[in-house]
Chain A
Amino acid sequence: MLTILFDGVAYGMLLFVLACGLSVTLGLMNFINLAHGAFAMAGGYCTVVLVNQLGVPFALGLPLAFLFTALLGGFLERTLYVHVYARSHLDQVLFTIGLVFMSVASVDYVMGSSQQFVQIPDALQGQFNVFGIGMGKYRLFIIGICGLLTVILQLILAKTRFGSRLRAAVDDQRVARGLGINVGAVFGITFAVGSGLAGLGGALGAEILGLDPTFPLKYMIYFLIVVTVGGTSSITGPFFASILLGIGDVAGKYYVPKLGAFVIYAIMIAVLILRPQGLFARSTAR
């Protein structure tokens, strides 16, 4: 029971790191980015190449994965995404689905369609046994890293100048622009960092989530659930939503394995019907 809770929390933390970038882009630019999972996959494959093939240590591979996807995200944002912000949601959905298809096929072409594994250092393998609860070392590591990231993100958002600019821009883009905040630049940076975090999440999660070319399609729905259920106005909303989702999914798969993800979808639809703006939304004014 507690093991399930523990695994669920680890899974949820991972989902949060993967999805928080998406929640900011959606809240800030009202942009539906279905291709977010493609960045996560890019990070995962980057780590696979670095760690397994080039022999880079795992601890160095993770920041590199972050850097690589952040650069990739920033580049794509400046070259492609900027053209689509002002378009209708339908256009955005089509555009990003197109990107997903392209990323799936090109990864398949370069890396092959089989599932990839990152070689995890021995120090992170095995289990602790605390009060009779088995806790995987790697999962504990994930919780640690993701928890740390969450705290850092929260601090950046709440304490720094950039954070207050970002919050201002999310709350009301036009007024923020009027106050002299360069919303485009804020958004570009946020997009890059969000993609980078997704990449880091993909690298960390390759072991738990499984990494193959269909990754963006498989997990797209999970990211979207986090964002829609959590709301886009803060990062605490998506955080609790991902923890809930993580626990719900692990528990659901454990207790009713044949029903699979049915439980999750049912919960999502129920939440969206009752609270169309998300569970933790502040206002419905937008």
Chain B
Amino acid sequence: MTPTPTAGEISAYLKRRARWSPLEVAFWVFAFATIWLFPDKYLILKDSAILALFALSLDLILGYAGIISLGQAAFFGFAGYFAGLVAKYGVVNEPVIALICAGLVAAALGFVTSFLVLRGTDLTRLMVTLGVSLMLGELANRYSNITGGADGLQGVEIAPVLGRFNFDLYGHNAYVYCLIVLFVCFLIARRIVYSPFGLSLRAVKGNVLRAAAIGIPVKWRLVSIYTVSAGFAGIAGALLTQTTAFCSLDVFSLDRSADLLLVLIIGGTGYLYGGLIGAVIYKFLQDWIATLTPQYWQFWIGLVLVIIVLIGRERMAGWIAVVRVYMTGVVGRLLPNSAAITGDMQQGR
């Protein structure tokens, strides 16, 4: 029989899991290097960063808590309109503060609606989350005197970030702004999933009954992660509104939530980077297909989905793991001292 681990051992284990691997460092160094490397790709990079944050929010509930949701667009759109409206009427002029407010508002909405997804099976959850985002879409359409209805919210003027950095025509500042927000949110998400709280979420995902039996308050864990995830989705939505100075009804659409699932599936769920990598691949794939067949790109996106499922996500994850082991090896050779801790990223899964 293995002896029961002591508290010291447990905290040492948690610390070891949470340590930054060189691969992660390399990822972020490269992400920030893109600011100087690809100055002509700012627009698509900016969209990828927003999508990545949005996918990160879904990964928190899907990959870590096991809630299937087709309704993340609800929070995205809600906060998007919120950010647009506060900027338009000059309630909060400073974008960063407005962004935080939008995140909080979306989190509040997430908290309220989280009680709806606690009950029922996958299908019920799917329907309820989808229903919530569709209802918000209908409301936005109904109160077109506030939201601009089908024409979208126009006349939004975004003040310079921190009073200094204007959103320029080339999208440089907008991209840097999005990337920094993404990084900060990622740090928060990383802190959450590597904490004991994050471990308990995994237990809930693994088996609800057993998790409850060892004393994890399943309901409150789900409510809190859903709230956090809604907040992140809201920040992503607000970012989109702020950087485009526009917000339209399609922020609530089903396509947006469905695309998001695709992003996560491409990148893989449950290790935080899935959404980030998936978002970049998805955006560039979409861009590439759209230049080939501008009207029918949806067909190819659909085909990708079908093929991914038929091949099997587990098998794909296997390939990704092989690539990751290889990459870790490469990075480990570049930074010889860190060879001992390079295994952590696989252990984290």
Residue from A32, A109, A265 within 8 A of B126 (CB atoms): A32
**B299 surroundings in chain A (CB, below 8 A):** 101-102, 104-106, 109
Are B131 and A265 interface neighbours, CB within 8 A?
yes
State which residues 208-241 of A face B: CB under 8 Å: 217, 220-221, 224-225, 228
Interface SS majority for chain A: helix
Given contacts A105-B299, A225-B127, contact A276 B121 (CB under 8 A): yes
A123 at the interface (CB under 8 A from B): no
**B261 surroundings in chain A (CB, below 8 A):** 90, 93-94, 97
In whole angstroms, how far apart are the Cα atoms of A272 and B131 in the complex? Answer: 11
B122 at the interface (CB under 8 A from A): yes
Spot the interface stretch: B89-97, B134-142, B231-239.
B134-142
**A159 surroundings in chain B (CB, below 8 A):** none
Interface residue range, chain A: 35 or more
**A276 surroundings in chain B (CB, below 8 A):** 119-121, 124
Interface residue range, chain B: 35 or more
Given contacts A228-B127, A260-B142, contact A269 B116 (CB under 8 A): yes
Are A95 and B309 interface neighbours, CB within 8 A?
yes
Residue from A89, A102, A221, A273 within 8 A of B134 (CB atoms): A221
In whole angstroms, how far apart are the Cα atoms of A100 and B127 in the complex? Answer: 17
**B122 surroundings in chain A (CB, below 8 A):** 32, 89-90
Q: Which residue of B lies closest to A263 (CB)?
A: B138
Q: Which residue of B lies closest to A95 (CB)?
A: B309
Our count of residue pairs bridging A and B at CB distance below 8 angstroms stands at 131
A91 at the interface (CB under 8 A from B): yes
A156 at the interface (CB under 8 A from B): no
**B37 surroundings in chain A (CB, below 8 A):** none
Are A94 and B309 interface neighbours, CB within 8 A?
yes
A279 at the interface (CB under 8 A from B): no
Are A101 and B298 interface neighbours, CB within 8 A?
yes
Are A104 and B298 interface neighbours, CB within 8 A?
yes
In whole angstroms, how far apart are the Cα atoms of A109 and B294 in the complex? Answer: 12
State which residues 92-133 of B face A: CB under 8 Å: 116, 119-124, 126-128, 130-132
**B126 surroundings in chain A (CB, below 8 A):** 32, 89, 93, 224
B262 at the interface (CB under 8 A from A): yes
A285 at the interface (CB under 8 A from B): no
Q: Known pairs A102-B298, A228-B123, A276-B120. 11 more at Cβ < 8 A? A: A89-B126, A90-B62, A94-B265, A100-B302, A101-B258, A102-B302, A221-B134, A228-B124, A265-B132, A272-B120, A276-B121
